[in-house]
């Protein structure tokens, strides 16, 4: 069984998230999402609209996702790869090169981001619309 992992906050789930989850899942037989906890988001300077618990339930409802684990630190990836017997790490290409240090442990693929959508764009557009 080819196991794939991806990491992220996945807040206000949108088509960009679905696209990468779908493509990551299609590259293997089992997809684990390491979901950024609320405290880890602070270190990423992000404040998710949905709590970790809600984001986890939402992700677990996505057909492409087989398992959700917490992402608590930048330093857990090697341990995750070994613990969950991961064959492939998939990330959007905004992370291109950042996780190449993991290549001795698993394959690493960066996929093109979905254009014209992001959680911050959703927030900005809603805020702007509310202002009018």
- CB count within 10 Å of CB 49 equals 11
- Binders in 36-55 for ligand C2G, by CB under 6 A: 36, 44
- 113 lies in the site for ligand C2G, by CB under 6 A: yes
- 91 lies in the site for ligand C2G, by CB under 6 A: yes
Report CA 98 to chain centroid distance, whole Å. 14
Residue ranges in 10-118 assigned as alpha helix (H): 15-26, 38-43, 52-60, 77-83
Q: How far apart, in Å, are the Cα atoms of 38 and each of 6, 46, 70, 124, 130? A: 17, 9, 10, 21, 26
Query: H or E segment at 127?
Result: helix 119-131
Cβ 80 to ligand C2G shortest distance, Å: 10
Cβ closer to ligand C2G: 7 or 52?
Answer: 7
Which of 7, 25, 56, 80 is the binder for ligand C2G (CB under 6 A)? Answer: 7
Which of 3, 4, 5, 10 is the binder for ligand C2G (CB under 6 A)? Answer: 10
The site for ligand C2G (CB under 6 A) is made up of 7-10, 16-17, 20, 36, 44, 71, 91-92, 94, 113-114, 117-118
Catalytic residues: 44, 46
């Amino acid at each position: 069984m080819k196991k794939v992992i991806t990491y992220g906050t996945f807040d206000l789930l949108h088509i960009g998230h679905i696209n990468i989850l779908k493509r990551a899942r299609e590259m293997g037989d089992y997809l684990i999402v390491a979901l950024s906890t609320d405290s880890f988001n602070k270190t990423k300077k992000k404040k998710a609209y949905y709590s970790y618990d809600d984001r986890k339930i939402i992700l677990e409802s996505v057909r492409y996702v087989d398992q959700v684990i917490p992402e608590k630190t930048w330093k857990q990836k090697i341990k995750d790869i070994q613990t969950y017997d991961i064959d492939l790490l998939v990330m959007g290409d905004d992370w291109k090169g950042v996780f190449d240090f993991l290549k001795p442990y698993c394959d690493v693929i960066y996929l093109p981001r979905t254009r014209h959508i992001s959680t911050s764009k959703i927030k900005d557009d809603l805020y702007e619309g509310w202002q009018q």
